[in-house]
Amino acid sequence: MGINKNGLLAGKVAVVTGASRGIGEAIAIRYAMEGARVAVSARTVNEGDHKLEGSITGTTDRINAAGGEAVAIQANLTAEADRLNLVDETEARLGPVDILVNNAAVTYYMTLPEITEKRFRLMWEVQVWGPLQLAQLVLPGMVERGGGRILNISSGAAIHPDKTQPGHGGTVYGMCKAALERFTTGLAQEVYEQNIGVNVISPGLVATPGAVYHNLINERTKNIVQPVEHMAEACLRLVHGDAKQLTGRIDHAHKVMREFSLDPAELI
């Protein structure tokens, strides 16, 4: 398919956090394929800077080599200065933000007695306060221009677990994602009249480097793994069209794919 500069997101500027690898990388690429100018953000700048494969330089190189437009902006979302700089630098290099995708996550699978305050605050900062502040930073411009989109990436961990099943140390992670979902629906209500769509979506089980690292892909789960292209396509669908008709949703990728009869595009 390649880059379509006159595609569904032509003229739009998108910020995607956690876009050095996995789901965030796929979303950034899919948006660029539809003509968006994309700010690709994460902590990992170059390949080898992190124990997991992937980098924001690699993602932007992939987009730009195909004829798209992307810039790499390093950001540690636990730091307020980095959150402020992410929006400022995006606007300076690409223009006002039309689409914000809060995908970055930090996950520790530990039981409650094992969780330290430092790790709790780190997960909360990246997955709740960070998305909230980034939304605060881009909303005034969206209101001024008459519309915009905010998409938050959640997880099945937000769903209340079956108490009879063995746990895997996901209590705090699930709590953060549940908070992110409630934030989404509340903000959607607040900005409905401003033509700003705010949604949250969870992937199925995707074989990202992080999922493999945490051993989420195993003999028990390998048959339910979904291609990352499905998540990218669903995330594209939630950021175009009539914002008032597509807001306040708590979605899952496979449901969006089915509802809108989507065929996932092959990523560049």
Active site residues: 173
Using an 8 Å Cβ cutoff, are 74 and 50 in contact?
no
Using CA atoms, how far apart are residues 130 and 63, in angstroms rounded to an integer?
26
Question: In 3D, which of 181, 235, 188 has the Cα closest to residue 18?
Answer: 235
Q: How far is CA 87 from the centre of its chain?
A: 15
Residues 6+ apart with CB under 8 A from 232: 23, 26, 27, 29, 30, 264, 265, 267
Q: How far apart are alpha carbons 93 and 41 in whole angstroms?
A: 13
Distance CA 143, CA 55 (A): 32
Query: In this structure, what are the phi and psi dihedrals at residue 40, rounded to the nearest 5 degrees?
Result: -95, 115
The three-state DSSP-derived secondary structure of 167-183 is CCCCHHHHHHHHHHHHH
Torsion, Cα of 120, 125, 126, 131 (10° steps): 140
Concatenating the DSSP letter of every residue in 246-258 gives S-S-EEEHHHHHH
Q: Cα separation of 178 and 49, whole Å?
A: 31
Q: Is 182 left (phi over 0), alpha (psi -120 to 50) or beta?
A: alpha
